[in-house]
Chains A and B, each alone.
Chain A
Amino acid sequence: MTLPSLLRKMPPFMPVLIILICMFALNGLAEPNSLSPYALKGLISTYLALMFLSVGQTIVIFAADIDLSVGAILGLVNVTLVSMMQVLGGEPAGIFAAMAIALAVGAGCGLLNGILVVVLRLQAIVATFGTSVLFLGLALWIMPVAGTPAPRLFWRTFGGRIAGIPFAYFVLAGLLVLIVLLSRSRFVPRLLTVGDDQLAAYQTGLPVQSIRVRGYVACGIFAALAGFCITGDTASGDPNVGGLITLNSVAAAVLGGAALSGGVGTLFGSVLGSLVIGLVGSLVFFLGTPSEWQNLVQGLTVLAALMVGILFGGKARA
């Protein structure tokens, strides 16, 4: 078997998987404790939010769209969830009701994005940037200053263990099951078809507009799930919590093998891409990079990882 055909046969997330393994190895060499059970659990619970967010981002990227409001949706969901839990009480019934409301808020934000981009045909980058300002404004209106604590039951569960296994691992398992279900459904292949060639998809009779809108709604729902994770890991409401996370979700998707031009990628790859972003930050520190260089080195490392991914991913697609 020749190398090109090998590359063609490998799944699109192969490059990022290799990068991820290298990152783990380098982190382990630089700081053996970074592979301890505590550190691994910490890595997962810290970056669960980014994983959910980048999976949502990948769904819209599949259809050649983009959502720059995911971080703002996450912040809005965070303050909605915390405020509603306070209103409804910290008992299981109140918590689940608050989660249902917050999930609906996420889906509603996604629907609004979908209508603006797909139905009103605004440019996705501009429209979702606009809605991000709107969602941040709403979050500030709900909670003007960061501070309301989440009920103890909520964050203790998220940070705790069930049968000796950290709860975060169950959430991760849940995410992976969701990804498998989505990938086997008609939804993901249809999104990819739309992203690959919208006109052709339309001509074959696919309901292109409805598929793209549903992509945005799914993205909003995943942003809401990311909001749950961040609430679990921070135990409080902060309207500005989604500040810089949006572009990380795009970077994770691209690292994971998705093309911004649409039609290519896997949801699983984005999960791996999120972990790579997390590990890059740690590695830069564990290698002892002087503080004034950390931002630069982190940026260069992500760039290098992107280039490696695109180089091999590109060959695989060729």
Chain B
Amino acid sequence: MSKFIKAASVMSLLGATATVAHAEEFTIGLSNGWVGSEWRTQMIAEAEEAAKAWADKGVTVTTKVQSANVDVPGQIAHVRNFISQGVDAIIINPNSPTAFDPVFAEAADAGILVIATDAEVSSPDAIYVGIDQKGWAEMSARWLAETLDGKGTVVAINGVAGHPANEMRVAGYQEVFGEFPGIEIVNEVNGNWDQAQGQQAMQNILATYPDIDGVWVQDGMAAGAWRAMQDAGRDDIYATGEIRKDFIDIWSENSLKSGASVNPPGVMASALNVAVNMLMGKELKEPATAGVYGNAMYLPIPFISDENLGEASAALEGQPGYTSYTSSLSIDDATALFD
């Protein structure tokens, strides 16, 4: 029986006039080990807002944030600081998929719930709540292949070689393009998730393969690649896009031939809403057992194409240009996942 229900019944037994307000109080530590992009800032801001929203449900969720550019030991220190403080749960965007196994075990021994988001972790003491990076790539690769009617030559511009998320994404698009015998991948290059390198890579590709039909490119590099194509006056190529307002504006104004899978910065807020439900002692209807490490719970991946571009534009209306299109599990969405 959950503590929540016990507390609620005790309060009603006492005939308290107050509702269940402040029946439950949780402290959740948020750890982010890299501050190099606005996406991460937005991720934390949305999670903090999600925590405040629990007040309407009579639950006090306090967040403690550690966010700085740190090395792996530095982020291990984040986790140990949270353990020292005695938080109820830790939500982490991890700098390494594997390096946190022992320290997550320490957290679990201290009775702390650990949830990773944005990047999967191997620890059996943690669960992952976020998108499936492979599915993310499959979705945009399928859009590209189908838009090209299943035939043509494509190139791929990838992130950092050896980075787990990049390897999953590469596997995703290779699998999808493999299903289309008419699609040929003529080259794959690394742009290290850097917009300028994406632009440079695209310039080289246009010079080497002037006849390509499609480009599969990830994240912010897409803005760079599109700039190179526009500079070269190439409006005949289909290419994947990205989710920041600046790019979505350019996309709308120039009717670019683009489509974009969304890795929403709201993933940490979703993870927080899942965490609060777990802290209340509820059980997931479907246990988190997906992914290579068997501990993942995948969130739905939105997709932006010409069909819903207007909606995406409207959602970002009035925001700064670096704001990413976002989505997250609301408290009710998250609660519906539990018994």
Contact = CB atoms under 8 A, between A and B. Distances in A.
Given A149-B98, A234-B96, A291-B67, A42 B44 contact: no
B98 A294 contact: no
A234 B84 contact: no
A196 B173 CA distance: 58
A43 B30 CA distance: 19
Contacts of B161: 140, 144
B81 A236 contact: no
A50 interface: yes
B97 interface: yes
A156 to B, nearest CB: 9
B162 interface: yes
Contacts of A238: 72, 96-99
B72 A243 contact: yes
B73 A149 contact: no
Contacts of A145: 162-164, 167
Interface string A280-309: 011011100011101100100000000000
A243 B74 CA distance: 11
B122 A230 contact: no
Interface stretch (A8-16, A30-38, A186-194, A208-216): A30-38
Given A39-B80, A239-B162, A294-B67, A159 B102 contact: yes
B73 to A, nearest CB: 5
B336 interface: no
Nearest to A226: B73
A47 interface: yes
B91 to A, nearest CB: 13
Contact of B99 (A71, A234, A244, A292): A234
Interface residues of A, number: 49
B195 interface: no
A243 B96 CA distance: 11
Interface string B138-171: 0000000000000000000000011110010000
Interface of B: 30, 32, 35, 41, 44, 64-74, 76-78, 80-81, 83-86, 95-103, 106, 122, 161-164, 167
18 contacts: A34-B84, A39-B80, A46-B73, A46-B76, A146-B99, A147-B97, A147-B98, A155-B102, A233-B102, A238-B97, A239-B162, A242-B71, A278-B77, A281-B68, A285-B66, A291-B30, A291-B66, A294-B66
Given A140-B162, A234-B96, A281-B70, 8 more contacts: A31-B81, A33-B84, A47-B77, A159-B102, A233-B102, A240-B163, A281-B68, A294-B67
